[in-house]
Structure 1
Amino acid sequence: MEVLTLVDRLGLIFGLIAIGFLLVKVKVVSGKDTKALADIVILVATPALMFTSIIGSCDVGPIADYSVMFVTGVFMPLLLVVIAYFAARIMKLGRPKLGVFLCANAFPNTVFIGLPVTVALYGSETVASVAVLDFAVTLVFWTIGLALLTDNFKWRGLGSLLNAVLNAPFVVLIISLLLALAEVKPPSLLLDMGEMIGQIAIPLSLLLIGMTMATFTRTSMEFDKSIGATLFLRHIVSPLIMLLVVYSLPIPILSKQVLVLQAGLPTMMGVSIVAQAYGKEHGYATSLVVASTIASLMTIPLVAYTLGILL
């Protein structure tokens, strides 16, 4: 990707994030409005974008690459949990912060930040890859991640797991892939409607990132040396490991770029949400999410530029 093209696309991304931030600060919308907008993105716009993108561009060739996305989405969080654990031992970080620290380093924000940023940089043909990767990461988060956050490794049953991972984007992903493989083309009216709705997914997601950042308050956060360790592991170590893993893999360059970019994303916001729900160091979890999200404004351009040179 040429430097000017990269600058132009990053300018678009950060511009929309800034607008979302300002909309909350000048009280055009409130922090409570973000919940309804997030539901529209997750339950309506993103599934529509996935459906039209996959049906319009998917063939048997890239289906084989999705298995790499899935395996990587399972492998990387587990590896990062191990690396973060040794980092925590060095810092003598114990419970109850330990579980939050491990999850903050292991799980990237693959939907709210990963999807819009990846599509803005590399195009809508990356939607299916990001969706498969997100499903794998989500699967690990709601099993291993939840156990780490709650200090409870008791199996909660298949029903609990299915409720967590069988969401609208995943269901649409499976249906879309099956239709594409069977070479079944839905009615043009359905495709046109899906395309129109899907067009709002990326800009609205970027606006939501800014809105969400505007709702964080300093009083709800706390800072210590483990924050710096998380920034180093999440934004430097993780993408470097992924780059080494995918460099020699027989997959398209675009798939490699997606994997490395996703590896360097900020901490999943679900870490903060689950920590609050279970009363597990919510302020600390929020601090990790906010710090990594802010840091990503600098590291994402660096990763994207580096990928343009190396791959």
Structure 2
Amino acid sequence: MIIIFAKILSVFSISLIGYAANKLKWMPIESNKYFSVLLINISSPCLIIYSMSQQEMSEETLTSVVQTASLMLLALITATVISIYIAKVFKFPQEDRGVYRALLVLTNNGFMGYPLSLAVFGEKGLFLMIVANAVFTIYLYSAGVMVLISGKGGKLDLKSALKSIFSIPVVSSVIGLLIFIFGIQIPSLLGNFLNTVGAITIPLSMLIIGIQLAESKAREILANKHLFITLILKLILFPVLLFALLVWLPFRPLVFCIVIFAMAMPSAAVIPVLAEIYGSNAKLAAQVVFITTMFSLITLPIFGILLTSYIGK
């Protein structure tokens, strides 16, 4: 247990560099605009494609990929349905219900999922998290956007919808899956390039989180009781409920734990960006991303320890 906690803590410690660099004015908040573009459109696609290209097409690996993709999609759909009911029960403001639903369903399993799954579950866990994130990315830029604007404050036109669906993250995820499915061999020179560029994804993602935390203002959050309800729902109740609902299904233990671990991540850092684009409450989204990311430093090590214990059994 101590080893798992230490591994997660070592990954989180990278975010302290971003936090300190922001406070020292070395990396102002404007840096995140460029770091995020680098991460989402360049380094992460390289990591996805390279990782997929390095997996041998065996019956065992193919089964794990199919199970991970299927279970991740099922978890996202289940969480979406639950979020609709939750928003009504807790009487979230009508105009912001879409934002709250998105914050409950959409997780930071790219920025944080990659480094933490590698630390807790090893290389195989990282690969399956990449598969899960490929499904998540496609869901995020299609159904996820619809969830986000399902309140009063947003409108999705055809042009914006197509731009969202055919974005670089979605296209690279599809390319990676196709490379794996058809066993396409990429040239070694290209593979080395993808590996080198993709390797910056993990430390870069934690730097971005550190800078975001340094710029977030905790005082603005204290006045909104719905933020604390969302915090408890997102980091504790949702993953526990998904565990209870899905544990009975015939999926491999590692596959199951990777998906639950992905759904236990804090709210996705991209939600405030999408909220800004589609006219929803971007400030609210940013506040929830901040508070869930901060408290995930406590909850994620606990889930990591519990899930690895489940695999051991």
TM range (shorter): 0.7 to 0.9
Q: Where in structure 2 are there 5+ consecutive unaligned residues?
A: none
| CA offsets 1:103-126 (integer angstroms, 9 cap, x no match) | 211211121122222223223334
TM-score normalised per structure 2: 0.86
In structure 2, what is the Cα distance between the partners aligned to 1:89 and 1:184? 47
Q: Does 1:251 align with 2:251?
A: yes
Out of 169-178 and 27-36, give the one that drifted further.
Answer: 169-178
Q: Does 1:283 align with 2:283?
A: yes
Q: 1:133 matched to which residue of 2?
A: 132
* 2:96 partner letter: K
Correspondent of 1:56 among 51, 54, 57: 54
In structure 2, what is the Cα distance between the partners aligned to 1:169 and 1:127? 17
Q: Structure 1 residue 296: deviation in Å?
A: 0.7
Out of 25-34 and 43-52, give the one that drifted further.
Answer: 43-52
Q: Does 1:300 align with 2:300?
A: yes
TM-score normalised per structure 1: 0.86
In structure 2, what is the Cα distance between the partners aligned to 1:46 and 1:218? 30
Q: Structure 1 residue 155: deviation in Å?
A: 7.0
% identity of equivalent residues:
22
Q: 2:95 matched to which residue of 1?
A: 96
Cα 1:25/1:174, change in 2 over 3 Å: same
* 1:100 partner letter: V
Figure out how many residues of one structure are paired with residues of the other and give that number.
308
In structure 2, what is the Cα distance between the partners aligned to 1:63 and 1:138? 20
Q: 2:43 matched to which residue of 1?
A: 45
Cα 1:168/1:60, change in 2 over 3 Å: farther
Give the SS at the match of 1:268: coil
Give the SS at the match of 2:52: helix
In structure 2, what is the Cα distance between the partners aligned to 1:94 and 1:4? 42
* 1:147 partner letter: M
Q: Which residues of 2 match residues 1-311 of structure 1 at below 5 A?
A: 3-61=1-59, 62-150=61-149, 151=151, 156-157=157-158, 160-218=160-218, 221=221, 223-311=223-311
Q: Structure 1 residue 95: deviation in Å?
A: 1.5
Q: Where in structure 1 are there 5+ consecutive unaligned residues?
A: none
CA contact (8 A) 2:52 2:179 kept: no
* 2:192 partner letter: D
Out of 42-51 and 293-302, give the one that drifted further.
Answer: 42-51
* 2:15 partner letter: I
In structure 2, what is the Cα distance between the partners aligned to 1:212 and 1:106? 20
The RMSD of aligned alpha carbons is: 2.7
In structure 1, what is the Cα distance between the partners aligned to 2:278 and 2:161? 17
CA contact (8 A) 1:220 1:283 kept: no
Q: Structure 1 residue 259: deviation in Å?
A: 0.6
